[in-house]
Amino acid sequence: MTSDSADVPVAAPMRASSLRGHATDLFGRAWLGVLIAGIIAVLVLPPAWTLLRTSLGTIQNDMSLSGLTLQNYADLAASPRLATTMLNSIVFATFATLVSLIFGGVLAWLVERTDVPMKGLAYLTTIISLGTPYILYVTAWLYLLGRAGPFNDIYRGLIDPEASPFDVNSLAGMVMIEGFLWSPLVFLLLSSSFRAANAEMEEAARMAGASIAQTMMRISLKLAWPAILALALFVFIRNLESFEVPALVGMPGRVDVLTTEIYRSIKEMPPRLGYASAFSVVLLLIVSVLLFFYGRISRHAERYASITGKGYRPRPFLLGKARWPAACFILFNFLVVLLLPILALVWVALQPFVRPMRWAALNFLTTKQFAAVLTSPHYLELGINTFIVAVATASAVMLLTLFAGWLAGRRQIGGVVSDQLVTVPLVFPGLVLGVALLELALRLPIPIYGTLWLIVVAFMIRYMPYGMRYSFAGILQIHPELEQAAGVSGAGRGTMLRKVVFPLLWPAMASGWLFIFLLCAKEMSLPLLLAGPNSQTISVAMFDLWSNGQGGEVAALGLIWAALMTGVAATFHIIMRRQSAGTFGH
């Protein structure tokens, strides 16, 4: 009953032509995947290998590498610096994580789940502070809490004219500044998970007779716990890897952590590359282990996520009398995260040299610093350099991850390999990647060292995982049948990608591009190691200016740069909105 046609031809033996047919067929499907996976491998694998190789070798006087030895690791283990810096790193990262988690977490809960006033202010603060270069932030706080800053100044005026109780160049200072630096991101991520949480679970607890506090402790916190834990680990890793705060705040006060120790040994004359590499490998291993646990916890967190998609907003908790103290918390956040740093920067930028905030000093207000920055061809060149780097990196990364994301999302040949290779750079702290590329560039026969292209390559490696997140998520949102429909309609793979996938992916790609562009425009640790005399970028210049004590110019340059970047981001955003409105008719 199963077959209407009874005469079935006898199976012919496999012929050579069919084998060849199979081979060309396979090649036709595989070449794109092989090409993309190959490019990613060439970018990602050599730095890791170089780092490991250098850490296991001896550097000769002519910078060549020889031998296979554990000497560097033995030195490391014998050095008291390892224990000190490791302890500093852990204390720094732990407490900074706690500060940003508590600060950002409470803020997120207040804004998302209660009837606290001034919610808009919390968002505004967060958005603006996310666009500000870290180094700008850090210098603002260095001034605020520094010897000449208003806090010490007020203390001296009111209590003890001789004392400076706030010592910013200390572990405590680092913890505070780093904590405030990350709290906006914590706020953003936690508020989205508070928003997505299924309010019916809380309402069920309330109906069952639980008080607000009981509901919070027994239901809300328990449900959010995996998400909070995953976020805490993520911030902890970021803090371990961070370089800006340890370099600007810690190093002048001789408080060294793992990253600054690596930086020091590179900048010594002659540079101790083997030692730095061994240190980097240690840091890399720590981060890898932590990332492994992060992956496990965040998978667990996803299982707890109970997004209903019903699109209704849960009834907020009514705070009653606690409404206004809660509002003060939001105001405090605005003050600490946005207003004070910006005021400090403006003040410093408008003064001929760094001095306390006094009425008397108003007489010395000057636009000299701004004029210096705006008229200098040097800064213009730096700005152009930075733009070139950021545009080149963002475009290259998005182009590469566009294909990689499609291959991975559609389970094509080479997709899985590309996907795994792309995530490798996540274990590289920026500084470690810088060390690895520095060593690689010094040994490569092509003269890439000291050019902007080395920085572009470094940024590409570093931000590939971010680009992949955008393109992969974008691909997953495109129903596979949209592609299959193109194929059945008669389009080949190239036409299908060009006419269907790329146009639909365009919004995701553009936001990924902007994100990477902004990151490149403000990242400091990589260019600091890799920039040659003719390939300086804005953030490197700011670091150098600060090291030379030219705080005023740093502030002026930083403010102008931040305003420019905010402008770029806003313009881009508006264009994007129009574009997608045109395309998708929303």
Listing DSSP states for 45-109 in one string gives: HHHHHHHHHHHTSEE-TTS-EE---SHHHHHHHH-HHHHHHHHHHHHHHHHHHHHHHHHHHHHHH
Q: How far apart are the first and last CA of the chain?
A: 53
Contact assessment for residue 121 and residue 334, using Cβ atoms and an 8 Å cutoff: yes
Least CB distance from residue 504 to other proteins, whole Å? 6
Least CB distance from residue 168 to other proteins, whole Å? 53
CB atoms within 10 A of CB 577: 12
Least CB distance from residue 22 to other proteins, whole Å? 6
Choosing from 5, 61, 66, 363, the residue that interacts with other proteins (CB under 8 A) is 5
As a whole number of angstroms, the distance between CA 227 and CA 224 comes to 5
Least CB distance from residue 419 to other proteins, whole Å? 17
Site for other proteins in 6-65 (CB under 8 A): 8-9, 11-12, 14-15, 17-19, 21-22, 25
Which residue, 221 or 482, has its beta carbon nearer to other proteins? 482
Give the range of 133-141, 270-278, 486-494, 536-544 binding other proteins by CB under 8 A: 486-494
Phi/psi of residue 359, each to 5°? -60, -40
536, amino acid identity: Q
Closest C-alpha among 433, 455, 46 to residue 243: 433
Q: In 208-335, which residue ranges form alpha helices assigned H by DSSP?
A: 212-215, 221-241, 244-245, 258-267, 273-304, 323-334
As a whole number of angstroms, the distance between CA 43 and CA 457 comes to 8
Phi/psi of residue 114, each to 5°? -130, 175
Which residue, 359 or 584, has its beta carbon nearer to other proteins? 584
CB atoms within 10 A of CB 338: 19
Least CB distance from residue 341 to other proteins, whole Å? 43
What value does the CA radius of gyration of the chain take, rounded to a whole number of Å?
27
Least CB distance from residue 295 to other proteins, whole Å? 19
Total residues in contact with other proteins, by rule CB under 8 A: 39
As a whole number of angstroms, the distance between CA 281 and CA 286 comes to 9
Establish if 500 lies at the interface with other proteins (CB under 8 A).
Answer: yes
Choosing from 4, 61, 209, 445, the residue that interacts with other proteins (CB under 8 A) is 4
Provide the token pair at 521: 């425009």
Least CB distance from residue 31 to other proteins, whole Å? 15
Give the range of 36-44, 322-330, 375-383, 482-490 binding other proteins by CB under 8 A: 482-490
As a whole number of angstroms, the distance between CA 104 and CA 419 comes to 32
Which residue, 207 or 488, has its beta carbon nearer to other proteins? 488
Least CB distance from residue 9 to other proteins, whole Å? 8
Least CB distance from residue 391 to other proteins, whole Å? 25
Choosing from 254, 310, 481, 533, the residue that interacts with other proteins (CB under 8 A) is 481
Q: Does a cis peptide bond (omega within 30 degrees of 0) precede residue 165?
A: no
Closest C-alpha among 190, 183, 278, 194 to residue 238: 183
Establish if 584 lies at the interface with other proteins (CB under 8 A).
Answer: yes
Give the range of 194-202, 318-326, 448-456, 484-492 binding other proteins by CB under 8 A: 484-492
As a whole number of angstroms, the distance between CA 27 and CA 36 comes to 14
Using alpha carbons, list the distances in angstroms from residue 77 to 41, 66, 315: 32, 21, 57
Choosing from 2, 61, 66, 363, the residue that interacts with other proteins (CB under 8 A) is 2
Establish if 504 lies at the interface with other proteins (CB under 8 A).
Answer: yes
Establish if 299 lies at the interface with other proteins (CB under 8 A).
Answer: no
Least CB distance from residue 476 to other proteins, whole Å? 14
Give the CA angle between residues 44, 45, 47 to the nearest 5°.
80
Give the range of 171-179, 182-190, 443-451, 578-586 binding other proteins by CB under 8 A: 578-586
Least CB distance from residue 420 to other proteins, whole Å? 18
Provide the token pair at 324: 């206004």
Which residue, 21 or 352, has its beta carbon nearer to other proteins? 21
Contact assessment for residue 175 and residue 99, using Cβ atoms and an 8 Å cutoff: yes
Choosing from 402, 468, 486, 526, the residue that interacts with other proteins (CB under 8 A) is 486
Establish if 491 lies at the interface with other proteins (CB under 8 A).
Answer: yes
Which residue, 164 or 580, has its beta carbon nearer to other proteins? 580
Entry field: residues in the chain? 586
Which residue, 312 or 584, has its beta carbon nearer to other proteins? 584
Which residue, 467 or 507, has its beta carbon nearer to other proteins? 507
Least CB distance from residue 576 to other proteins, whole Å? 15
Establish if 489 lies at the interface with other proteins (CB under 8 A).
Answer: yes
Give the range of 91-99, 157-165, 179-187, 485-493 binding other proteins by CB under 8 A: 485-493
455 CA to centre of own chain: 16
As a whole number of angstroms, the distance between CA 404 and CA 44 comes to 14
Least CB distance from residue 484 to other proteins, whole Å? 5
Which residue, 162 or 481, has its beta carbon nearer to other proteins? 481
Closest C-alpha among 282, 220, 277 to residue 85: 282
Choosing from 296, 482, 529, 537, the residue that interacts with other proteins (CB under 8 A) is 482
Choosing from 120, 487, 549, 567, the residue that interacts with other proteins (CB under 8 A) is 487
Give the range of 270-278, 477-485, 538-546, 551-559 binding other proteins by CB under 8 A: 477-485
Residues that bind other proteins (CB under 8 A): 1-5, 8-9, 11-12, 14-15, 17-19, 21-22, 25, 479, 481-482, 484-492, 495-496, 499-500, 503-504, 583-586
